[in-house]
Amino acid sequence: MSRVCKMSKNVREVFRLDELKDDIRRNMVALLGNDPRSKRKFSYYNALAYSVRERLVDLWMRTQSDYYDSMAKRVYYLSMEFLPGRFLMNYLTNMGIVDECREIVAELGFSLEELEEEEWDAGLGNGGLGRLASCYLDSMVSQNIPGYGYGILYDYGIFYQSIVNGNQEERCDNWRRHGCPWEITRLDTLYEVKFYGRSETYYDSDGNVRFRWVDTENVMAMPCDILIPGYGCSHVSNMRLWTAQSSREFNLSDFNRGDYIGAMHGKVMSENITKVLYPNDQFLQGMELRLKQQYFLVSATFQDILRRYLKQHTSLAALPEAVAVQLNDTHPAIAIPELMRLLMDVYGMGWDVAWDICTRTFAYTNHTVLPEALETWPVDLLGRLLPRHMQIIYEINRRFLEGVAATFPGDTERLSRMSVIQEEGGQRVRMANLAIVGSHTVNGVAALHSNILQTGLFRDFHEYYPRKIRNVTNGVTPRRWLMQCNPALSRLITQSIGPEWCCNLEKLRELVPLAEDSAFRDAWARAKLENKRLLSRYVLRKVQMGINPNTLFDMQFKRMHEYKRQLLNVMHVISLFNRIKDNPSADITPRTVLFGGKAAPGYYQAKLIIRLINEVARVVNADADVAGRLRVAFLPNYCISQAEKVVPAADLSEQISTAGMEASGTGNMKFALNGALTIGTLDGANVEIMEEVGAENIFIFGLKAHEVAEKRRSGYNPREFYENDAELRRVMDMIGSGFFSPDERGLFSPVYDSLMHHGDYYMLMADYRPYMEAQAAVDALYLDQDQWVRKSILNAANMGKFSSDRSVMEYARGIWHVEPLGK
């Protein structure tokens, strides 16, 4: 299925490595204006980055002309978020020149790792959704699928998290302050994006009624490209990120009236569109600026798509044969009425022809069923910002509901559920409904999640369009998430089964028999220990805490969310603490419990849980009885580059969301791929991970999705668990009574109350005891290192399915209808 990784026969020649050192010195002077003798790491990182980038530009242009010459169908992955992290090591890995580069850098007096640390993460996303987009770009280009990422170049990415007195504080992530050597800014390409104004009717020369959008306020979109090299570099693609520039004539009348400052104000305001990423993960705030960002992305992208298409075609009729557009959640779903508007108002098509083109072009991926994440926009807001789009949405809906009414006569309830316009509580546009109606295919991101879409959230749509809603299980790129982040394990794997695994992850199955080989198990354990040592040094640097690499590293790293249940993990920690205090000489498995993750700045409860983790850590880590057996830390500012250090060092991966709530998860895949064992619920992709690795190699516990749903219906009583479980009661009482916050006894009452008095929506109380039992099984297994390591190997060995190469090929064949180029 995947391409054999035939790294170019001679990378030294292809990438002119003999000239690399000179190029670094040259760029240092010519581009950066620095003295090569200064030995500043940051300058050397930059000079190296430019010298690496310039080696890809030729390949990139060649790839683009390949696409052009073959008239290949292109995939456009539209996403409000990308989370590429750092680029340097990814470029070197995919170019296959890490070792060569390390030597050259050493000759200049640096280690590659120290230069790598000079790079700021490109944090243009919140979490899994953005990271998935970046993994898919890597897999598309690595498999010669002509695809581009389209997104926004935010000046400020996801905020920088620091922990002050146990609390999260947000700082602005000024990631481009010192420039970004990977960006290729296209100062000469500008598209106009319109806002506000009104829709006007007129008669064309044939006497037909037509519409035009007039009296608009215009903003310019300027593209900035970042190259995306495929593994082995047979192809190089790019993501195109837009920045807002004020239009030259912006408020010309104000200038002319002599209101210079007033005119400049308008200019500055228009450039605000791409200032900052909204830091909410799965929570809709409904701000006008956010809708502006969405339309800005969509409008600029479609001008670019149509310009490229029209270079090779004279009519738009064949657009769906040449272009596939994937909507990454509903965030870019305004693209559907936008393409309708372009086809009808600008290119003069009639509704039916335009609609047919539209629905054959778009596909939509749903990533969540959380009600608070489902986008709806007030009709008056959307109608004011995008008046013509609002008209088109009404017409899409009118025709759609006509069809539904014909299929289900008299079922008015169904019509109101399926309508693109929500009527109750003031009219709002339901973006998910719009995206389903306007797409040929809708997919969920794991089997369970897609099933929930079909039978729950989108049930009516599934009945109406029985083949539209499908599944494509998420995946992660093995280049970044094993080869690059875990050199120790990668080396061992390559020595044992050869190098093909990184482009054909199913090959890892060849490790299965090696799990029975004790020498291999020892080598595997040594690689893991080396990673744990590296992480320990990082933890010492970051939070001035020593941790012992010989303890079980128990990790939960993901966005802070009540449904992800970091609190359940804390409740286990507190229980362990109590057991040790009750019986200081008890023989327990020593653990280091590490947490990381950002809370949305306005998410009070999530921030309070961060505080609780830090207060529990303070108490636990200071206790002499506990010393050497239990340690807890919260690592600030979880981001891609931190994940690259955390993931390879994990023994235990916590994936403990309330069943039915985590659409897929992708951290779960990264950890297991690096040999961590999973403790988790049957949620999202955990279900499929269990199927792949075998139920005996994973710790599954707790309510299943249908049981959660059933309990919600029949009435759930969290107090029952409190009353019947003394250990749980003690934990809850400690949290509620201020044991961990002696100076502020009521500090954690809201945490206590959410479980005890507000219905425990995420059912932590019900899952507490099963979780404790699963954790006890973890402890027991860890004492038997031989068995643990066996299972660790079997986990990695069976993760082949979760390569994003497989996901992307499923999209390519089943949804986009594109084939890898040159096959």
User: Catalytic residue positions?
Assistant: 367, 558-559, 564, 666, 670
Q: How far is the CB of 323 from ligand TH1 (least distance, A)?
A: 23
What DSSP string describes 304-371? HHHHHHHTT-S-GGGHHHHEEEEEESSTTTTHHHHHHHIIIIIT---HHHHHHHHHHHEEEE-----G
Pairing label, strands 160-164, 147-152: unpaired
Nearest in space to 609 (alpha carbons), one of 757, 717, 735, 730: 735
Contact residues for 779 (Cβ-Cβ < 8 A; gap 6+): 552, 588, 589, 591
Cβ(676)–Cβ(795) below 8 Å: yes
| Integer Cα distance of 340 and 331 in angstroms | 17
Cα 452 from Cα 327, distance rounded (Å): 20
User: Of the two residues 79 and 551, which places its CB atom closer to ligand TH1 in the complex?
Assistant: 79
Helix, strand, coil % over all residues of the chain, rounded to 5: 55, 15, 30
DSSP 32-68: T---GGG--HHHHHHHHHHHHHHHHHHHHHHHHHHHH
Minimum distance from residue 368 beta carbon to ligand TH1 (Å): 4
Nearer to ligand TH1, 132 or 772 (CB): 132
The C-alpha atoms of residue 194 and residue 190 are separated, in whole angstroms, by 13
**Distance, CA of 533 to CA of 684 (rounded, Å):** 31
Nearer to ligand TH1, 569 or 668 (CB): 668
Closest Cα partner for 443 from 139, 74, 814, 706? 814
* Smallest distance, ligand TH1 to C-beta of residue 299, A: 20
Cα–Cα dist 393/572, whole Å: 50
Instruction: Name residues whose C-beta falls within 8 Å of residue 384's C-beta, 6 or more positions apart in sequence.
Output: 196
Closest CA to 331 of 371, 370, 298: 298
Nearest residue (CB) to ligand TH1, 431 versus 747: 431
Give the max Cα distance, the chain.
92
Q: How far is the CB of 223 from ligand TH1 (least distance, A)?
A: 23
Helices (H), 154-195: none
Tokens 């994936």 found at: 655
Who contacts 765 (Cβ-Cβ below 8 Å, separation ≥6)?
A: 718, 721, 722, 728, 755
284 or 617: CB nearest ligand TH1: 284
Least spacing, CB of residue 281 vs ligand TH1, in Å: 5
Instruction: Considering the complex, state which of residue 126 and residue 536 has its C-beta at the smaller distance from ligand TH1.
Output: 126
The 3-state DSSP class for residue 728 equals: helix
Q: Are 699 and 676 in contact (CB under 8 A)?
A: no
Please report how close the Cβ of residue 364 comes to ligand TH1 at its closest, in angstroms. Answer: 13
Instruction: Please check whether residue 544 is in contact with residue 774, taking contact to mean a CB–CB distance below 8 angstroms.
Output: no
End-to-end Cα spacing for the chain: 12
Our CB check for ligand TH1 shows the closer of 473 and 490 to be 473
Least Å distance between CB 432 and ligand TH1?
11
The nearer residue to ligand TH1, 615 or 692, going by C-beta atoms, is 692
Helix (H) and strand (E) counts in the chain? 34, 23
Minimum CB–partner distance for residue 689 and ligand TH1 (Å): 12
DSSP-derived letter for residue 637 is S
Residue showing the smallest CB distance to ligand TH1 in the complex: 128
**Residue with smaller CB distance to ligand TH1, 3 or 367:** 367
What is the smallest separation between the CB atom of 596 and ligand TH1, expressed in angstroms?
16
What's the DSSP call for residue 9?
T
Tokens in use for 503? 């482009």
Query: At closest approach, how far in Å is the CB of 329 from ligand TH1?
Result: 5
**What burial class does residue 786 get, using C-beta atoms within 10 Å of its C-beta: 0-12 exposed, 13-18 middle, 19+ buried?**
exposed
CB-nearer residue toward ligand TH1: 128 or 151: 128
Binding interface with ligand TH1 (CB under 6 A): 126-129, 132, 281-282, 329, 367-368, 373, 445, 474, 662-666, 684
Q: Specify the residue, 358 or 369, whose C-beta has the smaller distance to ligand TH1.
A: 369
33 vs 774: CA distance, rounded Å: 59
What type of residue is 132? Answer: L
Beta carbon of residue 563, minimum distance to ligand TH1 (angstroms, whole number): 9
